[in-house]
Amino acid sequence: MTEEFEQPIHQEENMAETKVEVETSDAPVAELQLHATREMLAHARTQLSRVIAGQTSVIDEALMALLCQGHVLLEGVPGIAKTLIVKSVGRLLGLSFHRVQATPDLMPADILGTTILVQGSSTFTFHAGAVFTDLLLVDEINRMPPRTQSALLECMEERQVTTDGVVRPLPENFTVFATQNPIDFEGTYPLPEAQLDRFLLKTRVDYPSESEERQVLELHLQAASPTGSPLLDAAHIVPIPPGLLAAARREVHAIRIEPELLTYILSLVRRTREWPTLTLGASPRAAISLMRVAQAVAALEERNYLVPDDVKRALKPVLRHRVRLKPEAELEGFDADRILSDVVAAVPVPRA
């Protein structure tokens, strides 16, 4: 059920081991320079371009989720590099990786682990499942039966697994990247609202442009060899320095948010709860997620403060899976992104 590549040594979180100078939360916010974030993003874009052509927004959103320690739901048709992107990010960050192929007969124990009897003795031991990793890729998550989908709730929210009354913590960097096909409904189980709300972002992966698709062909042509080495192995991605991810996370968390921007975030989220074409608006968890992702957007723009455009950029990937349309709105051709655009247009932007 699982696919695994070589397990690198986990990153040490000791800031003394990285060459990057990181401002702590005790330093004045105005002096925040985002050194670690700049180095990480520059390194990531250089290394990932060896494997992936285009998909800039998808890669940026994956990096934003990792900076915010959140989970990502990738939606797109087969064959557009969803799995390759997650594998590449795992190698870039030097994180362990497992893949689970969701099927209708997949049981909770298949991903969480199970207690087994040691042969020749009367003792039991816990055999860890695929979730005990840094990056977990769940392919076609909507093919999981509801019972197995629910088993992921505790993992995603609490970063722990409870089996036989024993709480087992997951790795600090545990992150779920789940994929789903937007057009294949036969044999699938729609994700419940409670599970969707655990995903920090829902990223839509589109077809590449013509020039990007040509670059894909060229990358695979260059990677061809008599031994048949796959593209990812041929790229020789260089991992980021140890401690750099943790340093970048500290910087993102320290990005300044003025009170007017907090009011703007709150107004957008609360407006979805009273929007006439929505039956379900965004939750308080969604407001927190919007704030954190907006900070990550600012970091990608190399700013140590938030502006309204950061909130607007974060709004759709953070909220598109957390709102539910009325049936009549869907019949009229509306979708979540269009309604969220209308919400943004209806809420005054702070000018100060």
pLDDT digits (tens, 9 = 90+) for 8-28: 434 444 434 444 443 444 444
Q: Could you tell me what percent of the chain has a pLDDT over 70?
A: 88
End-to-end CA distance of the chain: 54
Which of 3.40.50.300, 3.60.10.10, 3.30.420.40, 3.20.20.140 is the CATH number of 2-104+133-254? 3.40.50.300
Q: Of the candidates 258, 261, 254, 255, which has an alpha carbon nearest to the alpha carbon of residue 308?
A: 261
Cα four-point dihedral sign 196, 198, 201, 203: negative
More confident residue, 346 or 32: 346
Domain spanning 256-352: CATH superfamily: Magnesium chelatase subunit I, C-Terminal domain (1.10.8.80)
Domain ranges of the chain: 2-104+133-254, 256-352
Angle at which helix 244-253 crosses helix 35-48, to 10 degrees, equals 120
**What integer pLDDT is reported at residue 235 of this predicted model?**
80
For 53, what's the count of Cα atoms within 13 Å in the CB-facing half-sphere? 16
**What integer pLDDT is reported at residue 187 of this predicted model?**
63
From its phi and psi, is residue 79 left (phi > 0), alpha (psi between -120 and 50) or beta? left
Least confident of 3-7, 40-44, 74-78, 261-265: 3-7
Q: Is 293 helix (H, G, I), strand (E, B) or coil?
A: helix
pLDDT of 296 strictly over 90: yes
DSSP state of 173: T
